[in-house]
Structure 1
Amino acid sequence: MYTEDNMRMDMPRPNNGTRKDRKENIDMSIVSKKSKQIPGSLIREMFAMQAGMKDVISFALGEPDFTAPQHVVDATVASFRRGETHYTPNTGIPALRKAVAATYQARGLDYQPSEILIGAGAISLLNLACTAMLDIGDEVLLPDPGWANYKGLMMQVGAVPIPVKVKEENGFMYDIDDLRNAITPKTKVILINSPSNPTGGVASAENLRQISDLAKERNLYVLTDEIYRELIWDGEPYTSIASFPGMKERTVVVDGFSKKYAMTGFRLAWSAAPLEVTTVMTKLLENVLSSVNEGVQWGGVAALTGNQDCVEEMKCQYRRRRELIVKGLNNIEKISCLWPKGAFYAFANISGTGLKSQEFAMRLLQEQHVVVVPGTGFGQGGEGFIRLSYATSEKSIQEGLRRMEAFVKGL
């Protein structure tokens, strides 16, 4: 059947000008409208702005300042020396999937190795989970403030991010009524990040129970980013929403090695999800990654099954740094800071200075050479706050606080 579309194809095409003109037209349209709308990272932007400056104190990047444990490095190198330099199964090597499943079983969560998928960093698995779970136009409830990449991920797969403000008075965790009020017929997924980047907030077991009840009541699914799970500083032990009755089958958990083991450069993480979801995510992984290299996976096995003293040593230092930075911030006039319950971030309230978050951060960098991240880099709910990573030396924390106090006094 000869259609209108066929007619359009058969019609003579207009002369688009010279070769140069055509090239310019192509260059104008080669980038999709969708990708142009995805926001960049203000964290990276602030970090880049310090280039060329001398004597900079940076609280910008959320990366441990420790090196990976030696037994992890040794296991990785040994794998390469054995000649294990080839493709691995899409799902990850069996030994690592078994080791990950064992960590859940030790916590009372019955995940089988077949429900574990190995990826190149938590971000890759969050991406795969979003692609597997969400259709174009589906809505995802996100914490605001929350890690900025979540919004970009949702937009990248055609889903609609719906920010839900998490308030300081609630420890920067979801208020169940706010969450309920944000639900529409298009809502499919609630995203949880506990402990939280950027706030250091940790969801209580009661809060997670309320969210699980709401998810079951409204037939919603949960994507929970638990990359900071081991970095809990006080209060009750960590609880995963997947542990509540009826939630394992409607939850995708993402976790990894970067924060707990200081293995950021290894790009190694995992997801734990119902077999149906894991199977789909594996198919999608083939299209974007194929597989994770074998050496770093054996490093992951060593991390999970080896001596954990290295983790406790790092956590001990984080605790000291946390105390130093929070007390220091609270001693600066016009600044206050809740005690973060987890992760390695302080989310300081600077509204008393009269400056907006971005102006505060920019002037602090220009005048005192101290890098912090404006709270608005994590959503509009972050206005009036700045994020400081205390994954840095105590000496740097002390000097950075001294400069910040001098800056505030000079306002």
Structure 2
Amino acid sequence: MTTPNSPGRSTSSPLSSRTRHFVLPRQWASMRRAEQLERESGNRVIHLEKGDFQGDEFRPAPHILEACVKAVHDGHVRYVPGPGLPELRDAIAAEATRRGRPTSREEVLVTMGAKHALTQSLLTLIDNGDEAVFPNPGYPPDEFWITYAGGRVVYAPLVEPDFHFDIDQLSKLMNDRTKVLILNTPQRPNGMTVDRLAEIGELCQLNDVTVISDEIFSHMVYPPARHQTIAAVEGMAERTLLVDTFSKSYIMTGFRIGWCVGNRDLITAMDIFQQNSVTNVPAFVQHAALAALTGPQDHVIATRDRLRAKRDRTVAALNAMPGITCPTPDGSFYVFPDIRGTGMTAQQLTDHLIDHHSVGVVAGTAFGDRGEGHVRITYAVPDDVLDEGLERIRQAVENLG
């Protein structure tokens, strides 16, 4: 009989060895620090570090909220089919089809946000020893779940200033152990769209690699740039999992609902995963999402135009500051300025801004070592807050000397 003190059994921790890499999300470190400073000092912090909308100007369209309330009053508060309401899956299939990836209901899974779709897909696809090619800089939760699944993260360095993939380098990173390539377009944290998708698709087909295409800012691409999905590239529909969400396009971050489209075998496996974990996305939330997707889209266009104006305002202000250069991103609600001219590292400047000027940004190194020399700034905030935050950053960098 084995006892707690038997040889060979550690009593130091009850945690699984799979949790050894567990740390709080790096991209939220600035937010945790900024909120602590507010609590302890009472000083008002300008939050440009949060990956969310702020202020009353950013609210879901009225017809979305009305659909959610009506669904609750109508009794849509029970379990529903795991993969999602049929009518919502049909609407999502139509959305994916419009992007150039012909899609049927059976190829759609409604998830608890895009993050849960990414989690489920990685835990479903990655075996021990599999390699996943990951953009650097990239989105940290993907690394987290690749590691948890026993996979190995292989970093593909993105090339500045537009953070594009080096196709030759990407080719060298792929081998018979490569299982997955992760794309994010528009990219987090820099907002640039991914180009040369046909060439990337050819590499994936040649090496039998599945693509997870994270497209959460698909409707936040500013003309003349346009959103494109690798799932529409010839030969890539069956080997791409397209992931999107209602959070960004429809300002529904707190609703926690997203979706993914892929081949039926993968979607079936992920549905089994979902039904054995969260069961299903709440029915009333799905009704709100259905209203968002099938109702008037003028609110989406108005939000995009509002954000474009804020992007331009932010880029212009940053480029006028000493030691900072800021390219104009294609989409998202982030900018990723180069701050190397200040003489500070990304973390040093981030800490300095929070501690001495009460403005929160995210160090670029939260997204990988290729983020060094950059900070991420969110501009989906009221204009007066944005202006004050940018003014505090200006004062900070002008006084560094």
CA separation of 1:185 and 1:314: change in aligned 2, threshold 3 A: same
**Cα contact 1:334–1:353 (8 A) shared by 2:** yes
Give 2:180's match in structure 1, choosing from 189, 195, 198. 189
Give 2:377's match in structure 1, choosing from 388, 400, 407. 388
TM-score normalised over the length of structure 2: 0.94
Alpha-carbon distance in structure 1 between the residues aligned to 2:389 and 2:352: 14
Alpha-carbon distance in structure 2 between the residues aligned to 1:14 and 1:126: 37
Where does residue 201 of structure 1 map in the other structure?
192
Where does residue 118 of structure 2 map in the other structure?
126
The equivalences for 1:225-240 within 5 A come to 225-240=214-229
Where does residue 19 of structure 2 map in the other structure?
35
**Cα contact 2:123–2:145 (8 A) shared by 1:** no
**Cα contact 2:89–2:109 (8 A) shared by 1:** yes
Give 3-state SS (helix, strand or coil) of 2:367's partner. coil
Segments of 5+ residues of structure 1 without an aligned counterpart are: 1-8, 17-21
Post-superposition offset of 1:15: 6.0
1:409 aligns with 2:364: no
Post-superposition offset of 1:89: 0.4
Alpha-carbon distance in structure 1 between the residues aligned to 2:151 and 2:366: 20
Letter in 2 for 1:287: N
Where does residue 212 of structure 1 map in the other structure?
201
Alpha-carbon distance in structure 1 between the residues aligned to 2:307 and 2:70: 30
Query: What is the total number of aligned residue pairs between the two structures?
Result: 390
Alpha-carbon distance in structure 2 between the residues aligned to 1:145 and 1:328: 24
Alpha-carbon distance in structure 2 between the residues aligned to 1:120 and 1:42: 21
Alpha-carbon distance in structure 1 between the residues aligned to 2:46 and 2:97: 42
Where does residue 142 of structure 2 map in the other structure?
150
**Cα contact 2:111–2:258 (8 A) shared by 1:** yes
**Cα contact 1:60–1:389 (8 A) shared by 2:** yes
CA separation of 1:92 and 1:335: change in aligned 2, threshold 3 A: same
1:355 aligns with 2:355: no
Alpha-carbon distance in structure 1 between the residues aligned to 2:236 and 2:4: 58
Runs of 4+ displaced beyond 3 Å: 12-16
> Quick check: 145-154 or 291-300, which moved more?
145-154
Post-superposition offset of 1:255: 0.6
CA separation of 1:13 and 1:347: change in aligned 2, threshold 3 A: closer
Post-superposition offset of 1:134: 1.4
Give 1:113's match in structure 2, choosing from 102, 105, 113. 105
Letter in 2 for 1:44: W
Look at both structures and tell me which one has the larger radius of gyration over its CA atoms. 1
Alpha-carbon distance in structure 2 between the residues aligned to 1:209 and 1:13: 58
Post-superposition offset of 1:184: 3.0
The equivalences for 1:201-280 within 5 A come to 201-204=192-195, 207-280=196-269
Segments of 5+ residues of structure 2 without an aligned counterpart are: none
Post-superposition offset of 1:39: 3.8
1:104 aligns with 2:96: yes
Alpha-carbon distance in structure 2 between the residues aligned to 1:329 and 1:254: 32
Where does residue 28 of structure 2 map in the other structure?
44
What per-residue deviation string (whole Å, max 9, x for no partner) do you get for residues 289-338 of structure 1?
A: 11111000000110001011111121111011000100111000110011
**Cα contact 1:119–1:268 (8 A) shared by 2:** yes
**Cα contact 1:38–1:155 (8 A) shared by 2:** no
**Cα contact 1:39–1:152 (8 A) shared by 2:** no
Alpha-carbon distance in structure 2 between the residues aligned to 1:191 and 1:257: 20
CA RMSD between the two structures: 1.6
**Cα contact 1:324–1:397 (8 A) shared by 2:** no
Alpha-carbon distance in structure 2 between the residues aligned to 1:121 and 1:282: 14
Give 2:82's match in structure 1, choosing from 57, 69, 90. 90
Alpha-carbon distance in structure 1 between the residues aligned to 2:138 and 2:3: 49
Give 1:173's match in structure 2, choosing from 146, 164, 170. 164
Alpha-carbon distance in structure 1 between the residues aligned to 2:115 and 2:128: 20
Where does residue 339 of structure 1 map in the other structure?
328
The equivalences for 1:8-23 within 5 A come to 9=1
**Cα contact 1:144–1:382 (8 A) shared by 2:** yes
Where does residue 6 of structure 1 map in the other structure?
none
Alpha-carbon distance in structure 2 between the residues aligned to 1:99 and 1:393: 32
Alpha-carbon distance in structure 1 between the residues aligned to 2:61 and 2:20: 40
**Cα contact 2:48–2:361 (8 A) shared by 1:** yes
Where does residue 3 of structure 1 map in the other structure?
none
Alpha-carbon distance in structure 1 between the residues aligned to 2:241 and 2:210: 8
What per-residue deviation string (whole Å, max 9, x for no partner) do you get for residues 31-86 of structure 1?
A: 22321313432232211112224121111111123122211111111111111111
Alpha-carbon distance in structure 2 between the residues aligned to 1:147 and 1:107: 23
Give 3-state SS (helix, strand or coil) of 1:404's partner. helix
Letter in 2 for 1:155: T
Alpha-carbon distance in structure 2 between the residues aligned to 1:15 and 1:334: 59
Give 3-state SS (helix, strand or coil) of 2:366's partner. coil
CA separation of 1:78 and 1:214: change in aligned 2, threshold 3 A: same
Post-superposition offset of 1:107: 3.4
Alpha-carbon distance in structure 2 between the residues aligned to 1:39 and 1:187: 26
Amino-acid identity (%): 33
Letter in 2 for 1:211: I
Alpha-carbon distance in structure 2 between the residues aligned to 1:13 and 1:269: 46
Alpha-carbon distance in structure 2 between the residues aligned to 1:81 and 1:361: 46
Letter in 2 for 1:199: N
Post-superposition offset of 1:175: 1.3
Post-superposition offset of 1:226: 0.6
**Cα contact 2:131–2:177 (8 A) shared by 1:** yes
